[in-house]
Amino acid sequence: MLKYCLLLILVFVEIFINKELIIMSEKTMQIAEMIDMLPEQDQILAFDLIKKLVLAWDPDFTKVTPKEAKELEEAEADPEVFSDEDINWD
């Protein structure tokens, strides 16, 4: 379970750093494999370090990537609104 948490954090770090990542890069995969080789206690240490780096970069998780900014602009330019009746809530 810890391995998958670390992998997800690495992917988020890569997305934030590269800003245009669509799939996990080879570098991220190599990092995940190296972390998986560590004893569990060291994996926890690596997890905490990566988490600290992400929080230092974006402490309140409000930064958007250029792709996200473009998508937000496009969404705001097309103010299509749906009524409650148009949405299938089931």
pLDDT in tens, 22-51: 566 788 888 888 888 999 999 999 989 988
Any alpha helices (H) in 19-88, and if so which ranges? 26-37, 40-57, 66-77
Question: Residue 12 sits in which domain range?
Answer: 2-75
The Cα–Cα gap between 68 and 60 comes to: 16
For residue 41, the model assigns a pLDDT of 92
The structure's pTM equals: 0.46
Residue 17 lies inside a defined structural domain of this protein: yes
Residue 84 lies inside a defined structural domain of this protein: no
- Quick one: pLDDT band at residue 86, thresholds 50, 70, 90? confident
SS3 label, residue 51: helix
The Cα–Cα gap between 47 and 55 comes to: 12
The Cα–Cα gap between 53 and 73 comes to: 28
Domain count within the chain: 1
Residue 86 lies inside a defined structural domain of this protein: no
